[in-house]
Amino acid sequence: MPPYRPLQATTGGSFIGPRRAVAGLLMAAGGLLSLAVFLVDTFTALQGAVAVVYLVVVLLVAASGSRRAIGGAAFGCMGLTIVSFVLGHGWPELDAAMLRCLVSLSAIAITAVLSLRARDRMATIAGQARLIELTHDSIFVRDMDDVIVLWNTGAEQLYGWTASEAMGHRATDLLGTALPGHHTCVDAALFSTGRWEGEVSQRHRDGRLVIVAARCALLRDDRGKARVILEAGTDVTARRAADAALGESERRYRSMFEKARFSFWEEDWTLVMARIAILREEGVTDLAAYLQAHPTFVRECCALALVTDVNDATVRMLGARAREDLIGPLDRFLPATDTTFSRVILTIAQGGGVAEGETHLTNLKGERLTVLFALNMPLGPTRFDRVLVSVVDITDRKRAERALMAVQSELAQAARITALGEMSASIAHEVNQPLAAIVTHGEASLRWLRRPVPDLHEACDAIERVVRDARRASEVVHRVRSLASKEPRQHVRFDLAALVAECALLLEGELAQHHIMLSVDIAPEAPSPRGDRVQLQQVVLNLMANAIRAMSCVPGSRTLVLRARPDGEEGILVEVEDSGTGIPEDIAVHLFDAFVTTRGGGMGMGLAICRSTVESHGGRLWATNRPESGATFHFTLPVTVAEEAGA
Amino acid sequence: MTRMPPPMTPPLAPVVCIVDDDAAVREALDSLFRSVGLNVAAFGSAADFLARDNANAPGCLVLDVRLPGVNGLDFQAQLAAMDNPLPIVFMTGHGDIPMSVRAMKAGALDFLSKPFRDQDMLDAVSMAIERDAVGRRDADAIGALRQAYASLTPREREVMHHVTAGLMNKQVGGLLGLSEITVKIHRGNVMRKMAARSLAELVRQAEALAAHP
């Protein structure tokens, strides 16, 4: 295959040293030959165009590839030809010898010109070959018998075989090429379109498989006969491995998502964030305050958060038949009373990326679930299209906790009643003994006096004992009172907001059960109260529980407001306001008396104890009915000194 | 068989025993009972009462339900087990019905809650003393009968048994292998020793003995 020989030569002769030596050798040979021709031409009387042999010199020198050398050799040879002619034939005249000389000269010139052109073409091809060398892609050429005829550095790097090792071998044997699909399909494509592209796995010299993105081209000669196939390839092994790892990772994620016992949701928050962006453009800077003030906006956002996928656990949890039932806006599951969503919006809008908390969900059967959720953004805090939410249903746990709390509180109540009963029994006994003695002494003294002969001495004795025992009874009463007021109490300053938060937590179940919105409004300038935190918490808890009870049967929206304001110079006023039934007229007067109750199960001690607690702290507790509906309980606490007002 | 003193002993004056751990109540009752001329002995505890002198004196017991160491009702049961015949009037600081029912079923005479009316207490006590006196008289009569019965010979007891069962002398003789005359002599001895003036009285005595063996 002549067109490819030079390529081979170039690839083979990439070393500078040998090439120079060959060129020098060629020059020397050319020089010697030209000298020999000159001597023969000049000093022998050969009647022929000996000078034509100079062509060989030019060709020899041309093989060295130097433009100047070719030129020099041509002109040199032509000069020598002319010198030989002049020496042999004298001054030229137009004869046969002259004609031969001219023929030789023109032959040398033509050869030189042709050599120069051939050399230029070679240089171009060599340049192209160098480009092939320079590229990082593997390029090799195989002939129609699959024998490798060209092998570049990229191929050496890709397959580990050097050019000399590779060339002459069948490509299929060397590389163990495995093609996608059948061999014939590839051949068919190659022969019909002249091109084929695809991925092949081939074998490296050390035995490992390399995946190569290959582009094959069929080269034909001038007559259209298929001559060679050029194959350029890029190593995509690492990329494929990364793709495979990514795919594997995605599969694992999917499998976890699908099969997890926890509920997983994928949500798209793009619309929510777009809405927030609009809000910001409109000039809203304090998003937290805005969300607080605009619950309808929060609700709107909730409808814009789209559930895009859920797993089987979620389908079960929400009582759906299939996951398709659950795809769509989130607000179908989040009850309107929810307070966590605005916090989550805020977290995500601030680039937090992670949010968690406890909230309620309404499932498709209308049941209310208590859940823990954790929201994160696996694609980064700015990718809102894939928000992953994991949810744990803790309804049963909460229910058990609530039941436990109810039992505990009932137990405490029972214990209180029992203690009260025991205490009253023991007080009754303590008081009754002297009373019995007093009565009997009195009666006995009367009998002594009414005897036929009155016994004044005995009568006086008896009356003295009446006095003594009456004193004793009075002491018992006094002792009981001081016992009751001696209960140790701690006076500390405490944070009302934290206390209210604890109460809200304790009453969370009841609030949710009766769909009551709790609004806590503690003025920042309200001073921190001071007193027995446990007792005062009982007061707040009691008032809140009463408010919940008062609202449990009223229709419409139910709101429990806990408000705190400064009261006078050094005091705090706390109000617990409900939208319930209000205080009935007949109860109002005796509201704070012991044993007054509107509840079947109540002892009627709550408000009485509340009032005595507040009063023992130096404050007041009273109640008013609201004009609209419901009642407000107010109590004040002096913030500085409370001790001297103790009972 | 002889547990009681001979019926000839002159009857002792009844004593009202008070058991209450509260000194004031004790004193008050003491004064009240003395004002109507009763003899009184007051004790602070059940143990003091059991250790008293003159334990056989007639009278009654005024007992507080709540006592140090022992519950009044348990003490009542304890006394019954000891065959102590003293009638009991209970007092309680907080008269509860189940407790009074229990006490009455166990033979208490009355159950008064403090503070009680003096007349109620005095009525209860005098009734108790009366009951004690009757009880003691009955017990004395049975004792005398038992003594008389004990003086009979075995043969006389046999004869008494058959005669009070309604058999004729001849039948008794046939049963025991005795002559009618001999039966008559035994029967005469029985009537004399038992101080029975008629066969009807002897039959009543036999019934009383059977009722209080």
Q: Do A435 and B66 touch (CB under 8 A)?
A: no
Q: What is the number of structural domains in chain A?
A: 5
| Structure confidence at residue B8 (pLDDT) | 46
Cα separation values, A230 from A148, A227, A272, Å: 10, 10, 55
Rounded CA gap, B124 and B108, in Å? Answer: 11
Rounded CA gap, A123 and A533, in Å? Answer: 99
Optimal mutation site among A440, A449, A458, A469, interface B, most CBs of chain B within 10 A: A440
Interacting residues of A632 by C-beta distance below 8 A, sequence separation 6+: A575, A576, A577, A578, A623, A624, A625, A626
| Structure confidence at residue B34 (pLDDT) | 92
Check: CB of residue A434 under 8 Å from CB of residue B108.
no
* Neighbour-count burial for A124-156, b at 16+ CB within 10 Å, e otherwise: ebbeebeebeeeebbbbbbbeeeebbbbbbbbb
DSSP label at residue B52: -
Per-residue pLDDT tens digits for B56-97: 888 999 998 877 777 888 888 888 888 888 899 998 876 567
CATH code of the domain occupying B152-211:
1.10.10.10
In a shared domain, residues A112 and A183: no
The residue among A464, A485, A506 that closes a domain is A485
Instruction: Give the model's confidence band at A489: pLDDT under 50 very low, under 70 low, under 90 confident, else very high.
Output: low
Q: Do A428 and B93 touch (CB under 8 A)?
A: yes
| Structure confidence at residue A414 (pLDDT) | 72
Instruction: Give the model's confidence band at B4: pLDDT under 50 very low, under 70 low, under 90 confident, else very high.
Output: very low
At A215, list the tokens. Answer: 């582009």
Interacting residues of A290 by C-beta distance below 8 A, sequence separation 6+: A279, A284, A297
Kindly tell me if the per-residue pLDDT of B123 is higher than 90.
Answer: yes
Q: Do B24 and A465 touch (CB under 8 A)?
A: yes
In a shared domain, residues A353 and A427: no
Residues of A in contact with B93 (CB under 8 A): 428-429, 432-433, 436
Comparing A53-57, A384-388, A409-413, A463-467, the range with the smallest average pLDDT is A409-413
Decide: helix, strand or coil at residue B133.
helix
Cα angle: A277, vertex A280, A284; to 5 degrees: 150
DSSP label at residue B117: P
Per-residue pLDDT tens digits for A236-269: 888 888 999 999 988 988 888 888 888 999 999 9
| Structure confidence at residue A463 (pLDDT) | 93
In a shared domain, residues A27 and A73: yes
Residues of A in contact with B22 (CB under 8 A): 433, 437
Rounded CA gap, A538 and A533, in Å? Answer: 9
Kindly tell me if the per-residue pLDDT of A11 is higher than 60.
Answer: no
Kindly tell me if the per-residue pLDDT of A603 is higher than 70.
Answer: no
Check: CB of residue A308 under 8 Å from CB of residue A266.
yes
Rounded CA gap, B56 and A452, in Å? Answer: 32
Interacting residues of B26 by C-beta distance below 8 A, sequence separation 6+: B18, B20, B42, B44
Higher pLDDT, A58 or A509: A58
Q: Do B27 and A428 touch (CB under 8 A)?
A: no
Kindly tell me if the per-residue pLDDT of A585 is higher than 50.
Answer: yes
In a shared domain, residues A59 and A143: no
The residue among A87, A117, A134 that closes a domain is A134
CA-nearest residue of chain A to B114?
A: A436
Span A169-194, average pLDDT: 80
Q: Of A425, A432, A444, which has the smallest distance from its Cβ to B118's Cβ?
A: A444
Per-residue pLDDT tens digits for A334-344: 887 777 888 88
User: Which pTM does this prediction carry?
Assistant: 0.43
Q: Does B116 touch chain A (CB under 8 A)?
A: yes
Q: Do B31 and A436 touch (CB under 8 A)?
A: no
In a shared domain, residues A199 and A147: yes
Q: Is residue A80 part of a domain?
A: yes
In a shared domain, residues A323 and A458: no
User: B15-145: which CATH number, 3.40.50.2300, 3.30.450.40, 3.40.50.1370, 3.20.20.60?
Assistant: 3.40.50.2300
**Sign of the CA dihedral running A63, A68, A71, A74:** negative
At B44, list the tokens. Answer: 């602070």
Q: Is residue A248 part of a domain?
A: no
The residue among A391, A409, A427 that closes a domain is A391
Rounded CA gap, A373 and A376, in Å? Answer: 10
Instruction: Give the model's confidence band at A594: pLDDT under 50 very low, under 70 low, under 90 confident, else very high.
Output: low
Q: Do A436 and B114 touch (CB under 8 A)?
A: yes
Higher pLDDT, A562 or A485: A562
Query: Which parts of A44-95 fold into alpha helices (H)?
Result: 54-64, 67-89
Cα angle: A165, vertex A239, A142; to 5 degrees: 30
Domain locations along chain B: 15-145, 152-211
Check: CB of residue A52 under 8 Å from CB of residue A77.
no
| Structure confidence at residue A63 (pLDDT) | 79
In a shared domain, residues A580 and A508: yes
Q: Please report, in angstroms and rounded to a whole number, the separation of the first and last CA atoms in chain A.
A: 121
Instruction: Give the model's confidence band at A438: pLDDT under 50 very low, under 70 low, under 90 confident, else very high.
Output: very high
Per-residue pLDDT tens digits for A29-42: 888 888 888 888 77
Rounded CA gap, B82 and B77, in Å? Answer: 9
Rounded CA gap, A110 and A542, in Å? Answer: 121
Instruction: Give the model's confidence band at A641: pLDDT under 50 very low, under 70 low, under 90 confident, else very high.
Output: low
Q: Do B27 and A441 touch (CB under 8 A)?
A: yes
Q: Which residue has the tokens 């195989």?
A: A142
In a shared domain, residues A347 and A420: no
Q: Do A440 and B32 touch (CB under 8 A)?
A: yes
CATH of the domain at A219: 3.30.450.20
Kindly tell me if the per-residue pLDDT of B188 is higher than 60.
Answer: yes
| Structure confidence at residue B66 (pLDDT) | 79
Residues of B in contact with A470 (CB under 8 A): none
Cα angle: B141, vertex B145, B147; to 5 degrees: 115
Span A618-644, average pLDDT: 81
Instruction: Give the model's confidence band at A462: pLDDT under 50 very low, under 70 low, under 90 confident, else very high.
Output: very high
Instruction: Give the model's confidence band at A8: pLDDT under 50 very low, under 70 low, under 90 confident, else very high.
Output: very low
Q: Do B114 and A433 touch (CB under 8 A)?
A: yes
At B190, list the tokens. Answer: 């029985």
Residues of A in contact with B99 (CB under 8 A): none
Interacting residues of A124 by C-beta distance below 8 A, sequence separation 6+: none
Q: Measured between CA atoms, how close is A443 to chain B, in angstroms? A: 6
Q: Does B29 touch chain A (CB under 8 A)?
A: yes
Beta strands in A418-557 (DSSP E): 492-493, 516-522, 530-531
Q: Measured between CA atoms, how close is B29 to chain A, in angstroms? A: 7
Rounded CA gap, A433 and B64, in Å? Answer: 11
Kindly tell me if the per-residue pLDDT of A201 is higher than 90.
Answer: no
Average pLDDT over chain A, rounded to whole?
82
Kindly tell me if the per-residue pLDDT of A2 is higher than 50.
Answer: no
Interacting residues of A257 by C-beta distance below 8 A, sequence separation 6+: A264, A266, A309, A311
Task: Please give the residue range of the domain that contains residue A339.
Answer: 262-391
Q: Which of A301, A321, A278 is nearest to A387 (CA)?
A: A301
CATH of the domain at A538: 3.30.565.10
| Structure confidence at residue A6 (pLDDT) | 39
Q: Which of B68, B56, B74 is nearest to B9 (CA)?
A: B56
Rounded CA gap, A618 and A646, in Å? Answer: 7
In a shared domain, residues A467 and A589: no
In a shared domain, residues A517 and A616: yes
Comparing A134-138, A449-453, A541-545, B29-33, the range with the smallest average pLDDT is A134-138
Kindly tell me if the per-residue pLDDT of A581 is higher than 60.
Answer: yes
Span A609-632, average pLDDT: 86
Span A509-532, average pLDDT: 86
* Neighbour-count burial for A36-54, b at 16+ CB within 10 Å, e otherwise: ebbeebbeeeeeebbbbbb
Q: Is residue A246 part of a domain?
A: no
CATH of the domain at A454: 1.10.287
Higher pLDDT, A479 or B118: B118
In a shared domain, residues A458 and A595: no
Kindly tell me if the per-residue pLDDT of A617 is higher than 50.
Answer: yes
Optimal mutation site among A422, A424, A447, interface B, most CBs of chain B within 10 A: A447
| Structure confidence at residue A642 (pLDDT) | 43
| Structure confidence at residue A503 (pLDDT) | 81
Q: How many CB pairs under 8 A join A and B?
A: 79
Q: Do A440 and B29 touch (CB under 8 A)?
A: yes
Backbone φ and ψ of B88, nearest 5° = -115, 130
In a shared domain, residues A639 and A497: yes
Q: Of A429, A444, A448, which has the smallest distance from its Cβ to B28's Cβ?
A: A444
**What DSSP letter does each residue of A190-239 carry, written as one string?**
HHHHSEEEEEEEEE-TTS-EEEEEEEEEEEE-TTS-EEEEEEEEEE-HHH
Check: CB of residue B125 under 8 Å from CB of residue B16.
yes
Q: Of A437, A448, A468, which has the smallest distance from its Cβ to B22's Cβ?
A: A437
